[in-house]
Amino acid sequence: QKHILKNSSLRNKFWTDNKYSSLYWISVLIGSFALCVFLSYDIVLKWYDSPVNRFNINEPRHISENPFPAITICHNDPISSNIMNLASVLNWERENKTDEEWQTLNIVYEMCQWKHKIVKLENIDPKIVYKVLKEFSTKCEDTIKQIRWKDKIIDRPCEIMQPIFLLNNLCFSFNALPYHDMYRQVPYKLQDVLQIGKKWSNLTSNWNLDDGYSGNLTSNIPWNMKSTSFWNTVEFILAQKDAAYGCSSKQGFTVYFHSPSDVPDYSHSSLKLSKNSHSYVQILTQLSLTDDGLKSWTPEKRGCYYLNEKWLKYNTKYSYINCYVECQVNYTKSLCGCAPIFRISSSFPVCGPKLKHCQANAAIHIQRAYHTCKCLPSCTDIDYELSYSTVSKNFSYIKKSLMFLDNLTDSNDLASIEATVNLEHTWPLRRNAEDTNLGYISKIAGMTNLCRGVSLISVLDNFYFFFINPFFQ
């Protein structure tokens, strides 16, 4: 038995009188070690590069636990051509107009997205932007005529619609977080200038992405649906007047659906409406959660931020979109020395049309927002996918039931959109660890044992042979 143990030990095969035998076994040792490293490389790489798996389905969440999406409505003709004769202003001569008038034209040029040749300015006074919005913009009252939330008619809808810029377009948001809950400062004085949305913005939200709704309030802010029954819908009736001189060749409206805590963005789900049409929208809520076991991980390793882990200068609520937009604003200010029109600041001039290329360069530099801005997804994220159908609709047949119709509003100028959530439950995706540290170590140990026959006993045996035994010989 001693003879078997003595001759079966691998180290005894290294030190033999036969140099070819020793060379053979040394080659076997080196080859097995190289094979072990090669096969273990993928395990180690996955450990560092993809420690999180996002494809585990969590238990279902009821519709009442999720907010109804914020709906942002943008009029495709942002400057009221019934107030301002847009065809005439393009014939202005520079020397015949004051600097304020010329800045006014540059603002209209930007909002209408014209391609005409004019004298373009680099910077515009924010006060003149507010003045243009107050005097010439297409107002909420002229755009949103009625809202029906569930079974309740809201005849003065602009009291709960908050004004917001989406790039160069003035829009109005329904069911977004109230201004004072979403922004560190009420944005760009829009509400004071346009005098709308104050009823909603004075409310206090009891919801956030990470914790959901707090308290047992009968009316949650933002609003949510309790079930998918037929009357649990929201309907908007919109108006667009015909004009002899249009700001834009685009007719109708663009409607965006997004999280109540997100700044509206072109990347959000959207659809376009035209006059004399009705769109029915079914909303599919997509929710991503994060396992509590990952809270101790760094955001970079986890691949997401909780709300309290990244501070934003303008927004109180973190999200990838809010981070990206803020980064774009900061980079534009640094590169161009001005603020984009969608984030007017009293301390910075507004970027004029002459700096459009500079703004485009700033946007290009931050397209990879993670590397430039360190923006990551939210650890709890909500998004909305739309399916919809649009049909023509003659509103003259129901004009008697539309109390807002007057001599200034023709039933032929109307469009409507109705939206509802189509599933009673949502099955969220959950971000969790691909494996534990012990699990990865076990995989590497198993691979090592496969290639070299290594065990804890053999490791201690070799340690004794190489480092302890020589001192006792």
Q: What angle do CA 94, 100, 105 make, to 5 degrees?
A: 65
Write down the CATH number for the domain with range 64-431: 2.60.470.10
Domain 19-51+434-471 - what CATH class? mainly alpha
Helix ranges restricted to H, 299-368: 299-302, 320-336, 356-365
Give pLDDT, residue 441: 64
Per-10-residue mean pLDDT of the chain, 473 residues long, equals 45 57 70 73 64 68 92 88 64 73 87 80 91 88 90 89 87 93 73 84 90 80 84 89 63 93 92 91 92 87 90 91 90 90 79 91 78 88 93 77 59 86 87 64 64 62 67 62
Q: What is the pLDDT of residue 33?
A: 74
Would strands 144-149 and 234-239 be described as parallel, antiparallel, or unpaired?
Answer: antiparallel
pLDDT tens, residue by residue, 160-190: 999 998 878 889 999 999 988 888 875 547 7
Q: Are strands 277-290 and 429-433 parallel, antiparallel or unpaired?
A: parallel
CB 246, CB 76: distance < 8 Å: no
Each residue's pLDDT tens digit, 182-223 = 888 755 477 888 888 888 988 889 999 999 998 766 678 999
Q: What is the pLDDT of residue 66?
A: 92
* pLDDT at residue 57, as a whole number: 72
Q: Can you give the pLDDT at residue 3? A: 45
Establish how many alpha carbons lie within 13 A of residue 460's alpha carbon, considering only the half-sphere containing its beta carbon.
3
Return the SS3 of 462.
helix
Q: What pLDDT does residue 171 have? A: 92
- Looking at residue 393, its pLDDT comes to 87
Residues 437 and 443: their CA atoms lie apart, in Å, by 10
CA–CA separation, 313 and 308 (whole Å): 13
pTM, full prediction: 0.81
Q: What is the CA radius of gyration of the chain?
A: 32
All structural domains of the chain with their residue ranges: 19-51+434-471, 64-431
State residue 8's pLDDT score.
47
What is the pLDDT, as a whole number, of residue 142? 86
